[in-house]
Amino acid sequence: MTLRWLRMRGACESLVMVLCLGIQAQGADAPRSVVAEVEMAKQIDAALVKAIGQAAPLPSLADDATFLRRVSLDLTGKLPSPKEVEEFLADRRPDKRARKIEQLLGSEAYAVNWGRYWRDALTYHTPASGNYLRWDLFNNWLVEQVRKNRSWGEIVTALVTATGINDECAPVNYLTAQFGNPIEIAGTTSRVFLGVQIQCAQCHDAKTEPWKREQFHELVAFFGRAKIIQHKDVGGRATPYAIEGRVEGQYQMTAKRDISRLIAMPPRFLTGESVSMEASDQERRSALARFLTSPKNPWFARAYVNRMWTALMGWGFYPGVNDLGASAEPKFPEVLDLVAKEWTATGYDMKWLFRALANTEAYQRRLVPRPNAESADMPQPSVCPNRLRPEQVFEAMVRALGFDENDKSIPAPAPSEAPAVSRHTGLRHMIYYAFKVDPSLSVDEVQGTIPQALLMMNSVLVNTFVAANGKTFLADAIAKNMSEEDILLGMYERTLARRPTGEEMNICRRYLQKVNDRKEALEDVFWSLINTTEFLTKR
Amino acid sequence: MNREGALSRRSFLRWVGAGAFGLSWLDYLTLHAEELRKAHKACILLWMSGGPSQFETFDPKPGAETQGPTKAITTAVPGIAVAEHWTKVAGVTKDLAVIRSMTSKEGNHGRATYLLHTGYTPSGGVVHPGIGSVVANELGPQDFDLPHFVSIQGQSVGPSFLGVQYAPFVVSEPNRPPDNLATPVAGPRLERRLGLLDELEGSFARNGAAEQVRDHQALYRQTAHMVLSPRVRAFDLAAEPAKVRDAYGRSSFGQGCLMARRLVEAGVTFVEVQSTGWDTHGNELATLKKLIPPVDQGMAALVADLKSRGLLENTLVIWMGEFGRMPQINLTGGRDHFPSAFNLTLAGCGVKGGQVIGATDKLGTAVAERPVTVPDLFCTFCQLLGIDPRKENQSNVGRPIPIVEGGEVVREVLG
């Protein structure tokens, strides 16, 4: 038994390596026109301005505090520390924003943040249990790929071609999390990596897209010889699942008019490229990986660029990230094409894209409202508000309230039925569970829920740490005889990473005067700041 | 609440001011609750997650080799037999309509759960709203301070394009009130805090986030309304006499059924109570022996209690899972998925009780009479609740989607 495990593990890793080298070799030979990121950023800005014409004046640049909070959240999932804010505001260098972007991209928090993003994007919808989805292993593997700045093409290849046991070979979890079901896997692969919702053509020709039923099932056929195996009772390993190749057999589609008739499907990609029906499991999936990541495939780069653009800007070239639609017209198509083309030429370098986007003026301008989804209005070349993701909410709360995540004295009631998505325990789990959301949902579709509001309003966690007694910021500030003004500044700094405006200070002072009990009043202000929209929103 | 789920300021103040007119909170709300209860229908879905075997629930085949060792028992209605262990449900069959001829093509848990919650098979594009959200949207009264849709012990299926105000409010453990429902500061102080919060939001709203602030404020008003409402006691089972709590059974499921009754009494439109563990691929008998009694007790107590309180005539009770299980018992002593013939039970809200609709063949391998598809079932739900199944809602992909596509009302249910 042991020997088999070792052989399989070795097989999984060496296979992935072989494929990676293969991809790299291709990339190195391909003609390169890698544009430096800062130059790319300038080109993006120019293209945006050209597209909207000179009709309306451009929004002004965001102030430093706003930019710093925004870029810290986007790249690292955390707010800047008070010291960082102070230093950044005091920094006189003209390129300080570019330097900050660089610094954040080099941090461990960047890898953790984006590893988690992909973990959620890839597994959010599966009801799979812990046996089918090795949550921590998968998470850590994704974080590692981001940390090493592995090419996105290589990452996708590793996921699609993974073979082995899921508690040893982390990328296999992409397949086992979907129960090894080739239909689900093909549908997810197409949706997440290509932005093509071809799964609606599973039963009939797609109604709103040009996909034919056969095309969906030809895509599924690439996974047609992969099978899922359950390994029972393997000493101390619970029940791991594995993906192995079938030696023979074909994926079959039910004939539409006669459901007792099955038609063997050739593995053929959306671009028409195909492999032989005699191809083995690995040959099929390697071919699919090549077709997916090929520069000839128009959707691969567009889907990723659109997704990252949406995550940073709060609006996208397409209304959603899941559905680029073969016939939908994107906004700013020339910008999308430009970025997609250049990013492809880098070999799908993830950091390159973040640098290029974050260094645009568009990304650094002040917040503007999101245009109505139905309207034909062009979005302004700036950033729209976007909600913090669950782990970002947690980080923001730790910073604002100053609690220890492992503090067992604070109740963190765990729901009796936690879905496979949540694997944390304690306070992080509690926040994560309350705020969990599919990262692929369009910005318009994500809204606050009552349990979230209840948590922010009434939880022991929030109310304990906004209190003026105990080991809290406020208790400490009062004990130190801090001035009212300094306390208010401190609260704004901790919660929103900025100074209050003159008007906000007046509102707070008026409130403090109105309420008889000074301690209570200060607690109320602190409470209010945590419960603002802004606390949960990227500005 | 208006259509956007935002509580109007006027109605919020009306609740807050009730005490000032000499009418106690409780009097005022009890009166209102009476009106609500009479005026509007409600629905309780008992969801058997995993797919309950029809042989071991309400379509036993005594004597057939496919039945396995589970025996059948008679019930209060001569001619209707159910599987053993369902002794309490056997006592309320006069109020139940058992449909034994349900049939579908979805044998995958995720897809079948979606189908049995939305009436649609999942397609890659449209995300259909679950029945809880649909019914809440259609029937939920305006100006109501509790969530319209509560889901106990499960996530159910969400509202999709109907909007977040029809999202299920999830109660994970009915034996304790939902987390964070109680305000740790007195009502007036909470209101004062909310007033300050309102003022402080102005700056962000003016700086590009007006839409976000508006939605956030609407959510907070809705939440605060619930927190400050005495009706929130519906979630607190400690208010119920021990005798009643015992009658439902002290299991989570039993207490969940009791909470469902209290919520419906308080004016909540749709409550789903989930029981998990019905996916008995192996070791079926031992599993079901533990799983059935709490559900048997809770379900029977619920039907009887609703009836004795005069609520059953306006409350539809549904017992179902996502599919049935195979006629053959497999090598690990269990049954695998079987969507082509499964059963479910309805009661209340105009359902003619004491009857069986449809039948499977002698061995239970296929539907033999009167097949009922899931769209048929959903048309029937709509008929019983007074909802137009062909009404269209604007979907997330820009085209209108009817509440139910296809299907016909199963007239026999109405008698």
Token pair 């009990």 in the structure block, residue: A517
**pLDDT tens per residue across span A136-148:** 999 999 999 999 9
Q: Is B101 exposed, middle or buried (0-12, 13-18, 19+ CB in 10 A)?
A: buried
Q: Which of A447-456, A472-481, B12-21 has the lowest mean pLDDT?
A: B12-21
Cβ–Cβ < 8 Å for B274, B152: yes
3-state secondary structure of B9: helix
Could you say which DSSP state residue A456 is in?
H
Could you say which DSSP state residue A490 is in?
H
In sequence order, the β-bridge partners of residue A164 are A243
Could you tell me the sign of the dihedral formed by the alpha carbons of B177, B181, B184, B186, in that order? Answer: negative
Cβ–Cβ < 8 Å for A500, A508: yes
pLDDT recorded at residue A373: 59
Residue B40 in tokens = 């509007």
Pairing of strands A226-230, A241-245: antiparallel
Residue B222 lies in a domain: no
Domain encompassing residue B63: 40-177+241-414
Asked whether the predicted pLDDT for residue B307 surpasses 60, the reply is: yes
Q: DSSP per residue over B87-106, as a string? A: HHHHTTGGGEEEEEEE--S-
pLDDT recorded at residue A420: 39
CA distance A196 to A7: 36
In sequence order, the β-bridge partners of residue B274 are B47
Mean pLDDT across chain A: 86
Asked whether the predicted pLDDT for residue A203 surpasses 80, the reply is: no
Residue B387 pLDDT level (bands cut at 50, 70, 90): very high
**pLDDT tens per residue across span A390-418:** 999 999 999 999 999 888 888 887 654 44
Which residues touch A252 (CB under 8 Å, ≥6 apart)?
Answer: A262, A263, A264, A265
Pairing of strands B96-102, B400-402: unpaired
Residues of chain A neighbouring B4 (CB-CB closer than 8 A): none
**pLDDT tens per residue across span B163-222:** 777 889 989 889 878 889 989 999 999 999 999 999 999 999 999 999 899 989 988 988
CA distance A258 to A505: 73
Q: CB contacts < 8 Å between A and B, how many? A: 160
Do residue B211 and residue A451 have CB atoms under 8 angstroms apart? no
CA distance B42 to B29: 18
Q: Choose from B179, B199, B276, B281 for mutation: most chain A CBs within 10 A.
A: B179
The number of angstroms, rounded, from the C-alpha of A508 to the middle of its chain's C-alpha atoms is 36
What ipTM was assigned to the predicted interfaces of this complex? 0.86
Residue B254 lies in a domain: yes
In sequence order, the β-bridge partners of residue B99 are B344, B357
**CATH number of the structural domain spanning residue B95:** 3.40.720.10
Residue A90 pLDDT level (bands cut at 50, 70, 90): very high
Do residue A534 and residue B179 have CB atoms under 8 angstroms apart? no
In sequence order, the β-bridge partners of residue B97 are B346, B355
Which residues touch A424 (CB under 8 Å, ≥6 apart)?
Answer: A432
CA distance B287 to A159: 37
Q: Choose from B196, B215, B273 for mutation: most chain A CBs within 10 A.
A: B196
Cβ–Cβ < 8 Å for B132, B74: no
**pLDDT tens per residue across span A42-82:** 999 999 999 888 667 889 999 999 999 999 999 999 999 98
Residues of chain B neighbouring A369 (CB-CB closer than 8 A): 208-211
Q: DSSP per residue over A296-354, as a string? A: T-HHHHHHHHHHHHHHHHS--SSS-SS---TTPPPSSHHHHHHHHHHHHHTTS-HHHHH
Could you tell me the sign of the dihedral formed by the alpha carbons of B168, B170, B174, B179, in that order? Answer: negative
CA distance A84 to B391: 56
Residue B218 lies in a domain: no
pLDDT recorded at residue A293: 96
pLDDT recorded at residue B165: 79
Structure-model confidence comparison of residues A56 and A194, the more confident one: A194
Residue B236 lies in a domain: no
Do residue B124 and residue A536 have CB atoms under 8 angstroms apart? no
CA distance B267 to B139: 11
Residues of chain B neighbouring A447 (CB-CB closer than 8 A): 163-164, 215, 219
Residue B125 lies in a domain: yes
Question: Quick one: average pLDDT of A91-118?
Answer: 96
Question: Quick one: average pLDDT of A124-132?
Answer: 77
* Amino acid found at A198: I
Cβ–Cβ < 8 Å for A308, A301: no
Residues of chain B neighbouring A530 (CB-CB closer than 8 A): none
CA distance A82 to A80: 7
Which residues touch A29 (CB under 8 Å, ≥6 apart)?
Answer: none
Greatest mean pLDDT range, A95-104, A232-241, A400-409? A95-104
* HSE-up (13 A, CA, CB side) for residue A303: 25
Residues of chain A neighbouring B110 (CB-CB closer than 8 A): 127
pLDDT recorded at residue A130: 81
Residue B358 lies in a domain: yes
What is the number of H-type helices and E-type strands within chain B?
A: 13, 16
Do residue B180 and residue A457 have CB atoms under 8 angstroms apart? yes
Cβ–Cβ < 8 Å for B9, B286: no
Residue B158 pLDDT level (bands cut at 50, 70, 90): confident
Token pair 């262990």 in the structure block, residue: B85
Greatest mean pLDDT range, A238-242, B139-143, B301-305? B301-305
Do residue B200 and residue A451 have CB atoms under 8 angstroms apart? no
Q: DSSP per residue over B298-319, as a string? A: HHHHHHHHHHHTT-GGGEEEEE
The number of angstroms, rounded, from the C-alpha of A107 to the middle of its chain's C-alpha atoms is 17
CA distance A55 to B84: 77
Q: H or E segment at A435?
A: helix A426-435
Question: Quick one: average pLDDT of A505-526?
Answer: 96
pLDDT recorded at residue A157: 98
Q: Which of A125-134, A244-253, B351-360 has the lowest mean pLDDT?
A: A125-134
Asked whether the predicted pLDDT for residue B100 surpasses 90, the reply is: yes
Q: Choose from A450, A498, A505, A514 for mutation: most chain B CBs within 10 A.
A: A450
CA distance A19 to A88: 43
Number of domains observed in the structure of chain B:
1
The model's pTM is 0.80
Do residue A457 and residue B216 have CB atoms under 8 angstroms apart? no
Q: DSSP per residue over B154-187, as a string? A: S-----GGG-GGGS-EEES-TTSPPTT-S-SS-H
Residue B125 pLDDT level (bands cut at 50, 70, 90): low
Closest by Cβ to B219, choosing from A366, A453, A508: A453
Cβ–Cβ < 8 Å for A45, A360: yes
Asked whether the predicted pLDDT for residue B394 surpasses 90, the reply is: no
Pairing of strands B42-49, B270-276: parallel
CA distance A298 to B348: 56
**pLDDT tens per residue across span B271-304:** 999 999 999 988 899 999 999 999 999 999 999 9
**pLDDT tens per residue across span B46-90:** 999 999 999 999 999 999 999 999 999 999 999 999 999 999 999
CA distance A411 to A459: 9
pLDDT recorded at residue B196: 97
Greatest mean pLDDT range, A139-153, B117-131, B136-150? A139-153
CA distance B45 to A97: 55
Residues of chain B neighbouring A448 (CB-CB closer than 8 A): 164, 215-216, 219
CA distance B169 to A453: 12
Taking phi over 0 as left and psi of -120 to 50 as alpha, with beta for the rest, B357 belongs to beta
